Amino acid sequence: MGGRGENHIARLADAIGAELLTRRQLLAGAAGAAAVGLGGGRPARAQSVKRGGQLRIAWIDTVDTLDPHFTSSLGAIKIHDNIYNGILKVEYDGKRVSFVPDLMEKWDMPNPVTHLLTLRRGVKFHDGEECTAETVKWNQERLRDPNVKSPHGWKLADLDKVEVQDKYRLRITFKRPYQFLPVAWTGSTGRAGTIVSPKAVAKHGRAYGRNPVGTGPFRFAQWVENDRIVLERNPDYWERGTDGKPLPYLDRVTILLIRESSTAVGALMAGEIDGLNLIPFQFLPMMDKNPNVQVFGGVEGNYTFIGMNNRRPPFDDKALRQAVAFAVDRGPIIQQAYFGGAIPACSAISPPMSDFYNADQCSSRRAQHFDLDKAKALRAESKYKGDVDVEWMVVGQYTGSGGVGPRMAELVQPMLAKIGIKVRIQLYEQATWHKKRNTGDFQMYDEGWVADLDPDETIYPEWVTGKPWNFVGYSNKEFDRLVAEAQFEPNVAKRKALYDKADTLLAADAPCAFIGHFKVFKALSKKVHGFKYIPADSMRFHAVHL
């Protein structure tokens, strides 16, 4: 094994938070074994907090299912974070994201492919069942079972076996050292580490997503379609607050499913609700100026794009797709669709992934950028001569995943008209839009992938051949090889070089036109205390009080 940069165990130790490791553990990691101590639950200095009460918060983005192993919606994941725990969880100290123990109490690695997990004892699901090693084994096997068809199964594709050693200990073996594992095992964006109740899944079957049972600080109480989701305090939760008593402080969280963002903003400004889970860009200045509102947010790991269906005419033609990528002027879109709250994107990898972000990807002009002459030349090479008519499917409401729907489509429409592409904007309600996207029944659409913490998360499931979120049907064997190799490359510089090559291929093949990396904001009334911002579009209410 090479230096620390090539030492997989040491790299994982870095990823899960050096502040939790003692010097002895760090030395042990460098010598060939990593062990992580318990993160949460540490007795805290007593502080004044108020217990009880209800938080009423508007939820603007989509909630598809409360089964974390099947969701593709960040609006849902933000709720999962309060119902479930993960093997790990995401933490943020204001400068650095790290991954710390959640249901796991101790993590040992005798070699780069073997993980010995010791679980926290006595943790119970909301249905009274205890979370044990058998439970975690069942969850890992559910995710990777091809018959279950979880869209997150790819995260455990190289899992070799899970062995229960006793009630609280597991031995999990992968086929190869896996760089993405700390992210995959988080209970929020990772989803492969979110632990659900096997008993509840067996009881509810396909309806489990509407009857979720986790071990988290809040238990599911009610889901009224298009109206609200209600969470109630879990009186048996194990994590403790600053007053030394069990969390959470709140009795109830009512999530109001408000489709119209202007309605939600108005309700917050009038003091009728306590917060918004997202602030649409146009309302940010208003929020910033309001003395009764606190705003949280910043640039996060995300990117937006215009997707083109590679399997259908006319975008089965590479030259036509390339022409679109060079005909789009990102500057006006950033200013008018994102109200300046974004930077141009020339790649899927965003600035927060600092080890991998290529800041000169746009300025070097080797990737996608605005060049109308080049767009016209590529248009002339296309097999589709003369004007072509295409449909761009959009969602009318704010999606929360970065898509800005009609506003972006209206800005791009005249840009594409200059190269003979006539765009017909077609508005769909959200459920239909999702169905058409998921089945590849479209020509063009706009989308954003958000809350990504690692390049693997932002490239592999979206663009590798046949993967679950590759809705446009992109396929390039060399791209697939580079991304697969990067998943298991422990050296950061070598891994970045692989992603650079993959990114260059992706931009050149133009299955999409990259648009921007955008800021994500949420708002809470100033009477809400204890909310901790995490730059992964998280809404964790564990320690929130009124």
What integer pLDDT is reported at residue 13 of this predicted model? 54
**What's the first-to-final CA gap in the chain, in angstroms?**
52
In this prediction, residues 365-379 reach a mean pLDDT of 89
Q: What is the mean pLDDT of the chain?
A: 86
Q: Give the tens place of pLDDT for each residue, 410-427.
A: 999 999 999 999 999 999
Cα 86 → chain centroid: 15
Stretch among 8-12, 17-21, 377-381, 449-453 having the lowest mean pLDDT: 17-21
- CB atoms under 10 Å from CB of 340, counted, come to 11
How big is the chain by its Cα radius of gyration, in Å? 23
| Angle made by CA atoms 237, 239, 240, in degrees to the nearest 5 | 110
Share of the chain above pLDDT 90, in %: 57
Q: Which helix (H) or strand (E) holds 421?
A: strand 421-428
What integer pLDDT is reported at residue 282 of this predicted model? 82
CB distance 255 to 55 below 8 Å:
no
Q: Give the tens place of pLDDT for each residue, 386-399.
A: 999 999 999 866 55
What integer pLDDT is reported at residue 340 of this predicted model? 85
Q: Give the tens place of pLDDT for each residue, 298-344.
A: 878 889 999 999 999 999 999 999 999 999 999 999 988 888 888 88
Q: Is 25's pLDDT higher than 50?
A: no
Q: Is 15's pLDDT higher than 60?
A: no
Top mean pLDDT of 218-232, 434-448, 450-464 is at 218-232
Q: Give the tens place of pLDDT for each residue, 107-148.
A: 999 988 999 999 999 999 999 999 999 999 999 999 999 999
In this prediction, residues 177-200 reach a mean pLDDT of 87
Query: Could you give the angle at which helices 492-509 and 477-487 cross, rounded to 10 degrees?
Result: 160
What integer pLDDT is reported at residue 112 of this predicted model? 87
In this prediction, residues 376-384 reach a mean pLDDT of 96
- CB atoms under 10 Å from CB of 181, counted, come to 28
In this prediction, residues 42-67 reach a mean pLDDT of 81
Separation of alpha carbons 236 and 255, rounded Å:
22
Q: Which of 163, 187, 151, 171 is nearest to 40 (CA)?
A: 187
E strands, 167-274, in order: 169-174, 218-224, 228-233, 252-257
Q: Is 439's pLDDT higher than 50?
A: yes
Share of the chain above pLDDT 70, in %: 88
In this prediction, residues 526-535 reach a mean pLDDT of 92
What integer pLDDT is reported at residue 186 of this predicted model? 85
Stretch among 13-17, 144-148, 252-256, 494-498 having the lowest mean pLDDT: 13-17
In this prediction, residues 96-104 reach a mean pLDDT of 87
- In this prediction the pTM is 0.81
Q: pLDDT band for position 402 (50/70/90)?
A: low
Stretch among 25-34, 284-293, 355-364 having the lowest mean pLDDT: 25-34
What integer pLDDT is reported at residue 397 of this predicted model? 62
Top mean pLDDT of 40-54, 176-190, 400-414 is at 176-190
Strand ranges across the sheet with 104-111: 35-36, 104-111, 114-119, 169-174, 159-166
What integer pLDDT is reported at residue 31 of this predicted model? 30
Q: Which amino acid is at 192?
A: A
Q: pLDDT band for position 73 (50/70/90)?
A: confident
Q: Give the tens place of pLDDT for each residue, 346-370.
A: 888 888 787 888 877 776 666 788 9
What integer pLDDT is reported at residue 355 of this predicted model? 82
Stretch among 24-33, 184-193, 326-335, 403-412 having the lowest mean pLDDT: 24-33
In this prediction, residues 496-519 reach a mean pLDDT of 92
CB distance 164 to 150 below 8 Å:
no
